[in-house]
Amino acid sequence: MQWETVIGLEIHVQLATKTKIFSGASTAFGAAPNTQACAVDLGLPGVLPVVNEEAVNMAIRFGLGIDAEINQVNVFERKNYFYPDLPKGYQTTQLEKPIVGAGHVDITLADGSTKTIRIHHAHLEEDAGKSLHEDFHGMSGIDLNRAGTPLIEIVTEPDIRSAEEAVAFAKKLHAIVTTLGICDGDMSQGSVRFDVNVSVRPKGQEAFGTRTETKNLNSFKFMEAAILKEVARQIDLIEDGGQIIQETRLYNGDTGEARSMRSKEEANDYRYFPCPDLLPVMINDERLAKLKADMPEMPDAKKSRLIAQFGLSEYDAEILSADQATAAYFEAVVTACDDAKLSANWIMGELSRSLNQSNIVIADSPVTATMLGGLINRIKDNTISGKIAKEVFEVLWQGECNSADEVIDKKGLKQVTDTGTIEAMIDSVLMANAQQVENYRAAEPEKRGKMMGFFVGQCMKASGGKANPGMVNQILKQKLDG
Amino acid sequence: MYDKTIAEQSRALTRGELSSVELTQSYLDRIRQFDGDINSYITVTEELALDQARAADERRASGDAGAMTGIPLAHKDLFCTEGVKTSCGSRMLDNFIAPYESTVTARFKDAGAVMLGKTNMDEFAMGSSNENSYYGPVKNPWDKAAIPGGSSGGSAAAVAARLAAGATGTDTGGSIRQPASHCGITGLKPTYGRVSRWGMVAYASSLDQAGPMTRSAEDAAIMLNTMAGFDPRDSTSLEHSVPDYTTTLNDSLEGLTIGLPKEYIAAGLDADVEKQIDRSITEYVKLGAKVKEVSLPNAGLCIPAYYVIAPAEASSNLSRFDGVRFGHRCEDPQDLMDLYLRSRSEGFGEEVKRRIIVGTYALSSGYYDAYYRKAQQIRRLIRDDFLDAFKECDVIMGPNAPTAAFDLGAINNDPVAMYLSDIYTLSVNLAGLPGLSVPVGMANNRPVGLQIIGQHFAEARLLNIGHRLQQVTDWHLQSPALI
């Protein structure tokens, strides 16, 4: 039987506010346990929450970034359950009246076509603390530094049909929140976390199959692997005559193992009700208009502009517009060298490879946009060849010099373009290879092309790669062919 | 001087006729003498009080004193007071030393008031008789066989027995007005949002409001001057200007229209209570007021609505008492569930557990619409009833409770009877209105209070109306026989 996969995502995005959603405590990551939890975060008796307006602004910006309705009156509710890292015994979140209503995110599929993924809504909520189960000999430690960190939870419609689409969506969403500057995008520290709802159904069937939810996937790779594994499990189970149980599952990215966490029957009754300590959030027209006016160029618009303005291919534009830092870097390189195609090639080639190898983000690249632009300028004016340029890049990457010119100067990599010098060099190569010259001249014109390569190689070698390859070719041809 | 009002004590301190240290010491002596029996205090902060009194005397000497400087107060034991036990009348918080100060107590500190200690109360402010305290019941100073009312029973009894010049209370469903009424003192529940709830351990957040409990309306005005005002740490506190409540106390009542809800004269209203209420209204007519019958058609629904909304909020508010971070933790928990179950079972008393269970049920999936949502709809109807009535009158008057204080133990085993005794006070909280209770006589030798309900932010008018009555009557000056 042919199976169709149906996926809906819930994404938790940690907002890049300085302080928590309901208290003045810092949200910085990595501090000693419980040093960034104030009386409010600890849920002490008598404390009260006050909404962080910056978090509200960020949620609004997200809504504007996905063409969603902004609910100008939205309400915080309490989701009640007991857990040691949930200090108040409830999570303050939104349910009936979330801040962001229906919107959409468009993704580009492998065949170049565009697909729209509908967003059901997005709401503001607070994060819980962390339970630490190691190091305490049969007890658990509680770190409440993260408690009260502002999140938006984004809920999609079940519009996604494959792991590949899910990853494309996740990357696009990542691009949106980082472009908006509402999230640092650091997935390794949990700034963006995905819950995937997966079901399968026979192709052509309208009714959805029973779904499972796999929680807390914090990389694109893990998400893809978890989906593929779950889809295969469900299909195997059904084809073996089994039934899917609605349940929450956990996927361990390190081991690739997945297991059931709890079934629907064990699910809590969260007893949601409007939080009486907080008034409804009211967003007036003026505030909304101001936030609209401050919106940055979103990835889709940026992509269109890169194509129109620089003549980039769809593919190049998609990659370069995927995050704010890459796009900004690209535009800075183009400003420095005025060659969009070469800029794109270098960023997506040499730079991207080096960044990946060293596992650093583009904003921290040791080769700045100005440096790369300068390098490309020297290629364009024939000061160096493309091959030498890679050497120059490597030196810049190692941080030994501050500009391509400095590298070229210090290492004497300037291309040789003086006709007399090149001629003299060619003459000595031809003299040293008299037999090959004879063979060449005796050969049929069709075969000469291949033989020519030998002489070019010898000449370039003799020049230490610095001779201008175009000139070498031209002069060699004149001398050999007479 | 312990028998004088705050206003009189303040004047005496200003004139140098006594020091705050002397005044404070006289109350501490009385607490030692009488409170073993009355049980109005959970904690007496003797050393702290004397330190504060000394500081107040210095401040007065330096010419930097206000009306509250050096005045010895008692605070209900649900206001967090830094470094001092804040028990909420519960075993759950018997070991809880608050690490921060509530806005209300901080404002009194800043004003130079002295804190004598923390007063007894129904556990987590749940109760109408002060019998639900881990620290034992409070006795009514007028008749030790009687309850003092609740939940601010300790504050009411302390003021009535002259064990404090004034006290703070909180009122979620009548917890200031009813004990004030039963103890023959003056108590004001301000408009919801008038006084900050920061640092006040929550019972039902949308209803809780702190207010003064004093000998006279004038004293209540003096205390409210310090308590009232916007607090950026309480999102439900309102940015509404705070007048000087003492400046309008003597305003004329000529032309005041008093609304008397016909629904308030219901079966169950004690005849002697009714008589005292009628007589006080006659006094107001003599002062120039007119009387008009009004209707609050949904008044009777306040009990079911309140006893859904308040427990629902409480069930969530009290979830934080789980034995993990503070408060009572059971001995030697075997696992997480055991820690939760035993810590909460041991830490909470019967009435608190009852309301947590009721509230949990009311919010449960499948019951929410029938209970919580319906109760919220009724709440709006009740509020609208009041707003309609206020189109025809300036204030509404009636009793605080159907009877004077009942006997200790009389209905403690009958929660529904206990809930029914709140019928006159609950709707004021549901509507967010201010309500004042002033003493107007006795029924069966126990005090009776008149409840005066005003429009939102009408505290100044209520205090004015209470004060004018106290200029022509002396019920508020009478003291229990033990004095």
Say if residues B388 and B263 touch (Cβ distance below 8 Å).
Answer: no
Does B266 score more than 80 pLDDT? no
Q: Is A89 on the interface with B (CB under 8 A)?
A: yes
In angstroms, the Cα distances linking A118 to A34, A160, A169, B387 are 39, 9, 11, 45
**Chain A interface mutation, best of B121, B321, B325, highest count of A Cβ atoms under 10 Å:** B325
Q: Which string of b and e fits A69-87 if b means at least 16 CB within 10 Å?
A: ebbeebbbbbbbebbbbbb
Asked whether the predicted pLDDT for residue A129 surpasses 70, the reply is yes
Point out the residue among A48, A50, A87 whose CB comes nearest to the CB of B320.
Answer: A87
In a 13 Å sphere around the CA of B427, the CA atoms on its Cβ side amount to: 32
pLDDT of B483 over the 70 cut: no
Query: What is the DSSP secondary-structure string of B369-412?
Result: IIIIIHHHHHHHHHHHHHHHHTTT-SEEEEESSSSSPPBTTSST
CB-based contacts of B403, cutoff 8 Å, min separation 6: B270, B273, B421, B443
Mean pLDDT of B237-243: 94
Interval B328-350: pLDDT, tens: 999 999 999 999 999 999 999 99
- Answer yes or no: do A368 and A353 share one domain: yes
Considering the domain architecture, whether residues A443 and A318 belong to the same structural domain is answered as: no
The alpha carbon of A230 is separated from its chain's Cα centroid by a whole number of angstroms, namely 24
More confident residue, B300 or A263: B300
pLDDT at A32: 92
Domain boundaries along the sequence of chain B: 6-256
- By Cβ distance, the residue of B86, B235, B365 closest to A48 is B235
Q: Residue A129 carries which side chain, given as an amino acid letter? A: G
- CB contacts, 8 Å: A277 with chain B: 202, 205, 235-236
- Which element (helix H / strand E) includes B302? helix B302-317
How many other CB atoms are found less than 10 A from the CB of residue A431? Answer: 9
Best A34, A51, A277 residue to mutate vs chain B (most B CBs within 10 Å): A277
Handedness of CA B37, B38, B43, B48 (dihedral sign): negative
Which residues of A fall within a CB distance of 8 Å from B170? none
Check whether residue A260 and residue A153 sit in a common domain: yes
CB–CB contact A271 B313 (8 Å)? no
B185 pLDDT higher than 90: yes
- Residue A148, chain B, CB below 8 Å: the answer is no
Question: Which of A307-321, A465-479, B229-243, B399-413 is predicted least confidently?
Answer: A465-479
SS3 B74: strand
User: How is B332-365 classified by DSSP, letter by letter?
Assistant: S-SSHHHHHHHHHHHHS-HHHHHHHHHHHHHHST
B433 alpha carbon, distance to own chain's centre: 14
CATH superfamily of B6-256: Amidase signature (AS) domain (3.90.1300.10)
A131–chain B nearest CA distance, Å: 12
Among A167-176, A406-415, B383-392, B449-458, the range scoring the smallest mean pLDDT is A406-415
Interchain CB distance below 8 Å, A271 and B364: yes
Mean pLDDT computed over B270-290:
97
Is a pLDDT exceeding 90 seen at residue A174?
A: yes
**Cβ contact B441:B476 at 8 Å:** no
- Using CA atoms, how far apart are residues A409 and A401, in angstroms rounded to an integer? 10
Q: Which of A386, A411, A436 is the last residue of a domain?
A: A411
Is the Cβ–Cβ distance between A333 and A371 less than 8 Å? Answer: no
Nearest CA in chain A to B93: A45
User: Do the chains contact at A277 and B315, CB–CB below 8 Å?
Assistant: no
Q: Which two tokens stand for residue B384?
A: 């609208």
* H or E segment and range at residue B442: strand B435-443
Nearest by Cα to A11 from A232, A163, A177 = A177
How many contacts does A have with B, using Cβ atoms within 8 A? 103
Q: Do A271 and B206 touch (CB under 8 A)?
A: no
Q: A256 and A394 share a domain?
A: no
CATH number for the domain harbouring residue A436: 1.10.10.410
Length of chain A: 482
Contacts of B116 (CB under 8 A, 6+ apart): B24, B27, B28, B31, B41, B44, B45, B49, B72, B73, B74, B163, B164
User: How high does pLDDT run on average in chain A?
Assistant: 92
Q: Do A378 and A403 belong together in one domain?
A: yes
pLDDT class for A267, splitting at 50, 70, 90?
A: confident
Does the beta carbon of A46 lie under 8 angstroms from any beta carbon of chain B? yes
Taking residues B6-18, report their average pLDDT: 97
Same domain, A343 and A360: yes
A200 shares its domain with A349: no
- Average pLDDT on A377-403 reads 89
B interface mutation test: which of A271, A277, A281, A282 has the most B CBs within 10 A? A271
d(C-alpha A273, C-alpha A76), whole Å? 9
What's this model's pTM, rounded to 2 decimal places? 0.89
Report which of residues B282 and A459 the model is more confident about.
B282
- Residue A263 clears pLDDT 80, i.e. is over it: no
ipTM metric: 0.96
Could you give the 3-state DSSP secondary structure of residue B114? strand
Q: In this predicted structure, what is the pLDDT of residue B267?
A: 67
Nearest to A271 among B206, B232, B360 (CB): B360
Residue whose C-alpha is closest to residue B159's, from B449, B456, B458, B451: B449
Instruction: Name the pLDDT band for B475 (thresholds 50, 70, 90).
Output: very high
Query: Do the chains contact at B198 and A277, CB–CB below 8 Å?
Result: no
Question: Which residues, in sequence order, are CB contacts of B231 under 8 Å at separation 6+?
Answer: B103, B196, B198, B237
> Using CA atoms, how far apart are residues A307 and A318, in angstroms rounded to an integer?
9
First and final C-alpha spacing in chain B:
12
**Residue B198 pLDDT class (50, 70, 90 cuts):** very high
Whose CA is closest to B181, among B150, B207, B222, B220? B150
CA B10 to chain centroid? 23
Q: Are residues A386 and A468 in the same domain?
A: no
Which region, left, alpha or beta, applies to residue B199 given φ > 0 means left and ψ of -120 to 50 means alpha? left
C-beta atoms of A80 and B315 within 8 A: yes
Mean pLDDT of chain B: 96
* Residue of chain B nearest A50, judged by CA positions: B235
Burial state string for B14-36 with b = 16 or more CB within 10 A and e = fewer than 16? eeeebbbbebbbbbbebbeebbe
- Looking at the structure of chain A, the number of domains it has is 3
Model confidence at A266: pLDDT above 80: no
pLDDT of residue A262: 81
Handedness of CA B411, B440, B165, B208 (dihedral sign): positive
Q: Are residues A72 and A130 in the same domain?
A: yes
CA dist., res. B43 & res. A125, Å (int): 39
Q: Do B205 and A276 touch (CB under 8 A)?
A: yes
Please give the pLDDT value at position A134: 79
Domain that holds residue A424: 419-481
Reported as a pLDDT band with limits 50, 70 and 90, residue B416 is: confident
What dihedral angle (degrees, nearest 10) is formed by the CA atoms of B336, A40, A217, A53? 160
Q: What is the nearest CA distance from B367 to chain A, expressed in angstroms?
A: 10
Classify B120 as helix, strand or coil.
coil
Q: Are B482 and B34 in contact (CB under 8 A)?
A: yes
Q: Which residues of A touch B93 (CB under 8 A)?
A: 45
Q: Are residues A158 and A143 in the same domain?
A: yes
| A314 and A373, same domain (yes or no) | yes
Alpha-carbon distance B143 to B153, whole Å? Answer: 14
- Per 3-state DSSP, chain B is made up of helix, strand and coil in percentages (nearest 5) of 40, 15, 45
Query: Looking at the partner chain, which of B235, B320, B321 has a beta carbon nearest the beta carbon of A278?
Result: B235
Q: Tell me the pLDDT tens digit for each residue of B299-313.
A: 989 999 999 999 999
Please name the residue of chain A whose CA is at the shortest distance from the CA of residue B88: A45
Residue A385's pLDDT band, with cuts at 50, 70 and 90, is confident
Last residue of a domain, one of A290, A309, A339: A290
Q: How far apart are CA A424 and CA A476, in angstroms?
A: 11
Query: What does the H/E/C string look like for chain A?
Result: CCEEEEEEEEEEEECCCCECCCCCCECCCCCCCCCCCCHHHHCCCCCCCCCCHHHHHHHHHHHHHCCCCECCEECCEEEECCCCCCCCCEEEECCCCCCECCEEEEEECCCCCEEEEEEEEEEEEECCCEEECCCCCCCCEEECCCCCCEEEEEEECCCECCHHHHHHHHHHHHHHHHHCCCCCCCHHHCCEEEEEEEEEEECCCCCCCCCEEEEEECCHHHHHHHHHHHHHHHHHHHHCCCCCCCEEEEEECCCCEEEEEEEHHHCCCCCCEECCCCCCEECCHHHHHHHHHCCCCCHHHHHHHHHHHHCCCHHHHHHHCCCHHHHHHHHHHHHHHCCHHHHHHHHHHHHHHHHHHHCCCHHHCCCCHHHHHHHHHHHHCCCCCHHHHHHHHHHHHCCCCCCHHHHHHHHCCCCECCHHHHHHHHHHHHHHCHHHHHHHHHCCHHHHHHHHHHHHHHHHHHCCCCECHHHHHHHHHHHHHC
pLDDT in tens, A109-123: 888 889 999 999 999
Is A55:A49 a contact under the CB 8 Å cutoff? no
pLDDT of res. A382: 82
A247 and A264 Cβ atoms separated by less than 8 Å: yes
A48-60 pLDDT, tens per residue? 999 999 999 999 9
The Cβ of residue A45 has, within 10 Å, a number of other Cβ atoms equal to 24
Q: Which of A446, A440, A435, A425 is nearest to A480 (CA)?
A: A440
Active site residues of B: 76, 151, 175
Q: Which of B232, B235, B336 sits opposite A279 (nearest CB)?
A: B235
Which backbone phi and psi does B112 adopt, to 5 degrees? 85, 10
The single-letter code of the amino acid at A238 is I
A46·B200 Cβ contact <8 A? yes
| Residue whose structure tokens are 């692997």 | A225
Residue type, B99: P
The three-state (H, E, C) secondary structure of A39-65, written as one string = HHHHCCCCCCCCCCHHHHHHHHHHHHH
Tell me the per-residue pLDDT of A188-234, one tens digit each, with 9 for 90 and over.
Answer: 889 999 999 999 999 999 999 999 999 999 999 999 999 999 999 99
Whether the CB-CB separation of A452 and A480 falls below 8 Å is answered with yes
- Put simply, the answer to whether A43 touches B325 (Cβ < 8 Å) is yes
Which of chain A's residues have a Cβ under 8 Å away from the Cβ of B365? 269, 271
- Is A136 within 8 Å of chain B by CB? no
Indicate the pLDDT class of residue B389, thresholds 50, 70 and 90.
very high
Among partner residues A89, A269, A277, which is closest to B235 by beta-carbon distance?
A277
3-class DSSP assignment, residue B135? coil
Query: In the structure, what pLDDT confidence band is assigned to residue A315 with cuts at 50, 70 and 90?
Result: confident
Considering the domain architecture, whether residues A184 and A80 belong to the same structural domain is answered as yes
